[in-house]
Amino acid sequence: MSATEPISPLKDVWLRPRRVFRELADRPVGVIDHVLAAAQGVATALTVYRTQLGATHATVADILTSAFLFGPIGGIVSLYLFAAIYGRLGVRAGGKSARNQVIHVLAYGGIPVVASLILLALTAVFVGDAAIVDRPGAELDGFVGFILRAQFAAYVLLLLWSVVLQVMGLSEILGLATRRTFAVWMLGQLVALLAAVVLSVLIAILFPGLVPAPPH
């Protein structure tokens, strides 16, 4: 692809993330950013609820309802939370960027996670409810177990590729070396995790019973 050839961010971000994020640098945050963040939230929620709610013998409808109800909200909130975290950490590390640029990196860099949601839907077509509800291996036949393991492996690879795209994108917009950018990314994840733990503890203290106890 030549430097003057038009790009399609949704397609080209997979292999040309730096050019995509340079092209998006001057664009304001738009609907696509929020749709991508919401879809990432659903994909993450399905992965979490499949294990957590599956342990309580929840139905497919329960898991899907929870994921599609809370996932988009969580995805969009996380988008702005991480944008604030990475924006501040990037400046502290010697870089510079605007909030819209960080949001573009997080939204478009998470496209592989969105692809994992499509992959999960295709898996459900082949194996049915087992793709949504986490079941003991003894309850699955060999073919279904193989499909589910392949789907999980693909999810992990897509998640790792999303990390690569986000690190490369942050490196481009912050003007930092890739190694330093990866350190910023890791620190941002730790800060967000700490914030989530503190928030969960505060909710549990202020609103006892609101957060369900983990299954035994």
pLDDT band with cut points at 50, 70 and 90 for residue 62: confident
pTM above 0.95, yes or no: no
- pLDDT at residue 207, as a whole number: 62
Compute the average pLDDT of residues 10-22.
93
Residue type, 189: Q
Percent of the chain clearing pLDDT 90 (strictly above):
52
Residue type, 117: L
DSSP secondary structure code for residue 140 in this structure: S
CA distance 161 to 157: 6
CA distance 149 to 157: 12
What's the pLDDT tens digit per position in 28-39? 999 999 999 999
What SS3 class is residue 100? helix
- Would the pLDDT of 3 be above 70? no
The shares of helix, strand and coil residues in the chain, as percent rounded to the nearest 5, are 75, 0, 25
Compute the average pLDDT of residues 68-85.
92
- pLDDT at residue 1, as a whole number: 52
pLDDT band with cut points at 50, 70 and 90 for residue 215: very low
pLDDT band with cut points at 50, 70 and 90 for residue 196: confident
- Would the pLDDT of 51 be above 70? yes
- Would the pLDDT of 101 be above 80? yes
What's the pLDDT tens digit per position in 136-145? 554 567 777 7
- Would the pLDDT of 112 be above 60? yes
| Higher pLDDT, residue 206 or 198 | 198
Residues 56, 60, 61, 64, CA torsion sign:
positive
- Would the pLDDT of 87 be above 80? yes
- pLDDT at residue 216, as a whole number: 42
* Residues whose CB is less than 8 angstroms from the CB of residue 186 and which lie 6 or more positions away in sequence, other chains included: none
CA 143 to chain CA mean position, Å: 28
CA distance 2 to 4: 5
- Would the pLDDT of 210 be above 70? no
